Amino acid sequence: MRSDLMKKGLERAPHRSLYKAMGYTDEELARPMIGVVNSANEVIPGHIHLNTIAEAVKAGIRMAGGTPVTFPTIGVCDGIAMGHIGMKYSLASRELIADSIEIMATAHPFDGLVMVTNCDKIVPGMLMAALRLNIPTIVVSGGPMMAGKLNGKPVDLISVFEGVGEVKSNKMSEESLKSLEDCACPGSGSCSGMFTANSMNCVTEALGLGLPGNGTIPSISAARVRLAKQAGMQVMDLVEKDIKPRDIATFQAFKNAIAVDMALGCSTNTVLHIPAIAHEAGIDLDLDLFNDISSRTPNLCHLSPAGHHHLEDLDEAGGIQGVMKEISTLGVIDLECPTVTGKTVGDNIKTASVKNRDVIRSVKDPYSTQGGIVILRGNLAPDGAVVKQSAVSPDMMTNEGTARVFDSEEEAMSAIMGGEIKPGDVVIIRYEGPKGGPGMREMLSPTSAIAGMGLDKSVALLTDGRFSGGTRGAAIGHISPEAADGGPIGLVREGDRIAIDIPNKTIELKISDKEMDARRKTYVPRPPAIRHGYLGRYAKMVTSASTGAIFKE
């Protein structure tokens, strides 16, 4: 056993003594030792209940003959960090999470790991660590939050963000916003729409590193606790058979995950995280792969913010296994890929079915014949940009408008809330990329304000930063190279014309090559906004969004 490195033999008597100081018995030390990574905290609603999930995992490990050993990691709540300096630390926390797990599981060599997670950067950070360490591992999420209810209609966190814009444009009273605020997030779990947290939990299941149900079983359900116990028991089988994450997360498995991503209409942040996770397995995922798979995978689900359904509806309709079975008829799912169940994808989905065609449409009746996400390229984004096309109004799929240029989210937000943005404008927010931000802030506040003010069908927003999975409208992010790296977005001037053609996957700054070259010769990128502490180091090490914002080798 791998754990013998720290517990077996005469020379390890001091090590055993230290474990006994914590109450471990000789019998427990003789068993396989399983690290339980628990990201519970009292900051994130998706993590407030994770001690319960971790205890269930530990019970499962003990039932199957192992010894659980818990250790923590950090987590940032993107919603609470939104709109201020805290959001600069969100994406940057992903690398710290992966690094901290690597440290803990190498300094204390466990035989296997169960990673208890739930929200935006914690899930990909844990997956990156799993593939880097490559010891038997299962990831189990805490499950999605239920949707709130107001006047008989479902509401969620995005309803509150958009409500701010509605109040500002006199479409809602402050009293109504207070009522919405009080009920939109009714309890524990990852926010209830197909935002980044739930997107990544669903991707984990599709990738084969989470058990069936991992992405959709609600946090408040007893089935979620049972799933956690099953994860604890199942990791012992993986340890016995020495089935490791890289045995499961192959190139074909990543293609499966991207296909499910497209069918669901997941967050654009998956385009950052999936390549970063694959990188840890030594797999290179080019952005063009997303377009290739999107062209062959129809969008079958419109969950919030694209539609009125939520994760609880997807779970009742058949969940991720139902979606995989539906799109498998198109040949976009490799049924032979192994999973943490010990069975193949094909075996797992044999008994799956779609129970509600309003939530999971048939491949013969999709919302669109292409997937929910598309990669755009052009002279404004030569290395690519990303948009959640399933959440874009048909009126905005092809659009040309006038550039309104801002060098920070705060500047743009002030203009939006001040009524300075008009129909036909294209809001440019730059110096918010991985390096320039630094940290590539998620910008739900400006997109929600635009939507709340009724401008999402007439105003586009472009940035070298990124968006929340809750963003809707013509919000195009990850524009690469970023302004701080000398990218063309840094050359845009107030009043320039911008042409967006999502169906043809292009984004163009409407100036001549001669003018572009002239501007480039005089352009001096602004240095990162923060140059000290962790973010200062992060800005020096991070790569482009087009490569998943991973660290330089």
Identify the residue whose tokens are 């001091």: 14
What does each C-alpha distance from 322 to 4, 57, 110, 229, 413 come to in angstroms?
Answer: 41, 25, 34, 23, 40
Q: What b/e sequence results for 250-285 when a residue is b if at least 16 CB atoms lie within 10 Å of its CB, and e otherwise?
A: bbebbbbbbbbbbbbbbbbbbbbbbbbbbbbbebeb
3-state secondary structure of 387: strand
- Integer-rounded Cα Rg, in Å, for the chain is 23
Phi, psi torsion values for 249, nearest 5 degrees: -85, 70
Is residue 512 part of the annotated active site? The answer reads no
Written as six digits, the tokens of 480 are: 């690469």
Could you tell me which of 430, 408, 440, 445 has the C-alpha nearest to residue 80? Answer: 445
Written as six digits, the tokens of 20 are: 């006994």
For the chain, the first-to-last Cα distance in angstroms comes to 31
Q: Across-strand partners of 33?
A: 67
* Residues 504, 351: Cα–Cα separation, whole Å: 38
How far does CA 39 lie from the centroid of its chain? Answer: 16
At 107, the amino acid letter reads A
Could you tell me which of 373, 225, 206 has the C-alpha nearest to residue 297? Answer: 373
Identified catalytic residue from 448, 468, 480, 544: 468
User: How many CA atoms within 13 Å lie on the side-chain side of 531?
Assistant: 4
Written as six digits, the tokens of 542 are: 């991070």
Q: What single DSSP character describes residue 137?
A: E
The catalytic residue positions are: 468
